[in-house]
């Protein structure tokens, strides 16, 4: 195996280890002390630990994950499962190491929801970036992604975790537990998709103007953005029209609008959100991309 490949794999495992540590920290610091419902297999382990205190959360997570990993081996392949096994094992060990390390006291529930969600979503995002999961419902969501390719990972995990959060709330017998868990889950899904797909969401602009050539030249030369000319026809007038299509990043929206309206104040401008844009100037495509 080439040295560069070994270095890349070693770096990947370092990132997974650090992300797993953050994942465990957010559980023992933000979720467990505040009785906030935690989704996934960790949430199920939280329930078991509530009834059987002698069953550590980390060890219980490992045991509960065994059937899921056996199921995922054939569908996802050994490479992803190897990284996922490592991520699941390390995160579970960190949970059991961090729990007795410090007397984790409850904090303001809103702060716990916000920071717990950010830490959870961010850590899972980095784990998914390395082609792995932390097991449990993360692995279940990764399996669902094979069929539901159009859904972002954050939304998939949020849907799968809802059931577990309701169960945790029933165990603790408080509605607040579920509501705080839902808030944290929503925040974590946003953070995760931000890591996986980029915080700078892409936009697509459609421009209909009598000065399309001037607008296109400025967009290409000044903003260094590609412009595609589409052929259109007015339904009412029957007049042939050219439509400019331009993909750009969120931070460029003000510049786009200023350029179009300065050149032609009467221009018809439509700006639409784009889930993701692949290609030059944007994110590169990777095989088996999430």
> pLDDT tens-digit profile of 91-138?
888 988 998 888 889 999 899 999 999 999 999 889 888 877 776 666
249 or 218, which is more confident: 218
pLDDT confidence of residue 216: 92
Pick the CATH number of 202-274 from 3.40.190.10, 3.10.310.30, 3.30.70.120, 3.90.850.10: 3.30.70.120
pTM: 0.67
pLDDT band at 281 (very low <50, low <70, confident <90, very high): low
- Return d(Cα 83, Cα 65) in angstroms, integer: 14
Non-local CB neighbours of 50 within 8 Å, separated by 6+ positions: 171, 172
Query: CA 222, 228, 234, 237 torsion: positive or negative?
Result: positive
Would you kindly state where each structural domain of the chain is located, as residue ranges? 3-197, 202-274
> pLDDT tens-digit profile of 241-259?
889 999 888 778 888 898 9
- Return d(Cα 185, Cα 78) in angstroms, integer: 29
pLDDT band at 282 (very low <50, low <70, confident <90, very high): low
Stretch 24-28: mean pLDDT: 91
41: phi then psi, degrees, rounded to nearest 5: -65, -30
* Number of alpha carbons in the 13 Å side-chain half-sphere of residue 83: 24
Stretch 57-80: mean pLDDT: 73
Could you tell me what percent of the chain has a pLDDT over 70?
85
Non-local CB neighbours of 147 within 8 Å, separated by 6+ positions: none
């Amino acid at each position: 195996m080439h040295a560069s490949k070994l270095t890349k794999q070693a770096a990947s495992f370092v990132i997974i280890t650090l992300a797993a540590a953050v994942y465990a920290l957010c559980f023992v610091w933000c979720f467990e002390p505040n009785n906030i419902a935690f989704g996934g297999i960790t949430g199920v382990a939280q329930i078991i630990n509530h009834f059987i205190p002698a069953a550590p959360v980390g060890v219980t997570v490992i045991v509960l994950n065994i059937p899921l990993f056996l199921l995922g081996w054939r569908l996802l392949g050994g490479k992803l499962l190897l990284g996922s096994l490592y991520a699941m094992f390390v995160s579970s060990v960190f949970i059991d190491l961090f729990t007795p390390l410090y007397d984790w006291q409850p904090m303001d529930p809103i702060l716990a929801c916000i920071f717990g969600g950010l830490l959870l979503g961010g850590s899972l995002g980095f784990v998914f970036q390395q082609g792995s999961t932390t097991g449990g419902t993360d692995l279940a969501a990764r399996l669902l992604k094979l069929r539901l390719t159009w859904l972002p990972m954050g939304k998939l995990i949020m849907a799968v975790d809802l059931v577990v959060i309701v169960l945790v709330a029933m165990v603790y017998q408080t509605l607040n537990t579920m509501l705080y868990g839902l808030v944290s889950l929503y925040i974590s899904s946003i953070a995760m998709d931000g890591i996986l797909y980029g915080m700078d969401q892409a936009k697509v602009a459609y421009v209909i103007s009598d000065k399309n050539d001037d607008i296109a030249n400025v967009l290409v030369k000044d903003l260094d953005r590609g412009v595609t000319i589409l052929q259109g026809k007015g339904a009412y007038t029957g007049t042939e029209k050219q439509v400019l299509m331009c993909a750009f990043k969120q931070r460029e929206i003000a510049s786009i609008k200023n350029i179009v309206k300065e050149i032609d104040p009467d221009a018809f401008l439509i700006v639409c959100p784009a889930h993701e844009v692949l290609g030059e100037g944007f994110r590169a495509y990777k095989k088996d991309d999430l």
